[in-house]
Amino acid sequence: MLSYWQMFIESVFGFFILYFLTKVLGKTQISQLTPFDFISAIILGELVGSALFEEKAGVLHIGFVILIWGGLIYFVEMITQKFKRTRFLLEGSPEIIIRKGKLIRDVMAKNKLDINQLQHLLREKDVFSLKEVEYAILETNGAISVLKKSDYQTPNRKDMKLAPQPVQLSTTLINDGEIIYDNLEEKNLTEQWLIEQLKEQGYDDVNDVFYAEYMKDEDLLVLPFVNRKNRNK
């Protein structure tokens, strides 16, 4: 039976080596993982989990196995970066499942995708009818990219021949009743200014504000706590 101290040491070691490995491999968000990346992540977790409760496996064994597997993953990543032709084999490639408004049944069958699953993926893109779609591409991570028919595309300012407007990014000034002073400083604003803005909207205490958002030349967006009694529960 492993001692608590030994399990603690191996757990901490496994945590940091996995963290280091993810930094080296440079993985992005989960939604962008290919099937190969997903399986690799599961196996890495299983390797660490199994080693933690194996009495004969020590820290060096855990590190050795993880580094071997991580090295193989890194090798595959380097191959796909240097030799583009290997990407199709190792990562797969996007496939068109709707072309010029018509379903390509062979591609759907090849990817084990039925009509209900396709409709679900389309609804995630705010498309509720197949007649709206000109092209749909199934990406390597299982997501779908959609190009709507012109009649269903949202017109933009250029289409309407309107003058361009500057694009601004909103800044959070209060989150969960706490002032974010770094954001205030970044926007050259003061706490006194923020308090005055809150008072103008009927809030005398910052603790009454759940969220406040600032955008230049616009009124401060203030959202109060809906139920103060439930805040700390």
* Predicted local confidence at residue 29, as pLDDT: 44
pLDDT at 104 over 70: yes
Percentage of the chain with pLDDT > 70?
A: 68
90 half-sphere exposure, CB direction, 13 A CA radius: 18
Closest C-alpha to 176, from 206, 140, 131, 215: 206
Confidence of residue 147 (pLDDT cuts 50, 70, 90): very high
pLDDT at 4 over 70: no
pLDDT tens figures, 7-59: 667 667 666 666 666 666 555 444 445 566 666 667 766 766 666 666 666 66
Q: Where are the alpha helices (DSSP H) in 30-153?
A: 35-52, 59-82, 87-91, 105-110, 115-123
Q: For residue 210, what are its two tokens?
A: 């759940």
CB atoms near residue 86 (< 10 Å): 13
pLDDT at 121 over 80: yes
Rounded Cα–Cα distance for residues 149 and 75 (Å): 42
Rounded Cα–Cα distance for residues 178 and 188 (Å): 18
Under DSSP, the state recorded for 28 is -
Strand partners, 221: 213
Under DSSP, the state recorded for 220 is P
* Predicted local confidence at residue 3, as pLDDT: 64
Strand partners, 174: 179, 212
Which positions ≥6 away from 36 have C-beta within 8 Å? 76, 90, 91
Backbone angles phi and psi of 191, in degrees to 5 = -65, -35
Mean pLDDT of 95-107: 90
Is pLDDT larger for residue 31 or for residue 131? 131
* Predicted local confidence at residue 229, as pLDDT: 45
* Predicted local confidence at residue 94, as pLDDT: 84
**Domains (range + CATH), the chain:** 4-88 (no CATH), 95-152 (3.30.240.20), 171-230 (3.30.240.20)
Q: In what order do the strands lie in the sheet with 144-148?
A: 102-103, 95-99, 133-138, 144-148
Strand partners, 138: 95, 144
Confidence of residue 212 (pLDDT cuts 50, 70, 90): very high
Which positions ≥6 away from 133 have C-beta within 8 Å? 98, 101, 122, 127, 146, 147, 148, 149
Is pLDDT larger for residue 24 or for residue 67? 67
pLDDT tens figures, 217-230: 889 999 998 754 44
Q: For residue 73, what are its two tokens?
A: 């993953």
Q: For residue 51, what are its two tokens?
A: 């080693």
| 133-138 and 178-179 strand pairing | unpaired
* Predicted local confidence at residue 162, as pLDDT: 80
Collapsing DSSP states into helix, strand and coil, what is residue 89? helix
E-strand ranges in the chain read: 95-99, 102-103, 133-138, 144-148, 171-175, 178-179, 209-214, 221-224
pLDDT tens figures, 153-210: 888 778 888 888 777 788 999 998 899 999 999 999 999 999 999 999 999 999 999 9
* Predicted local confidence at residue 137, as pLDDT: 93
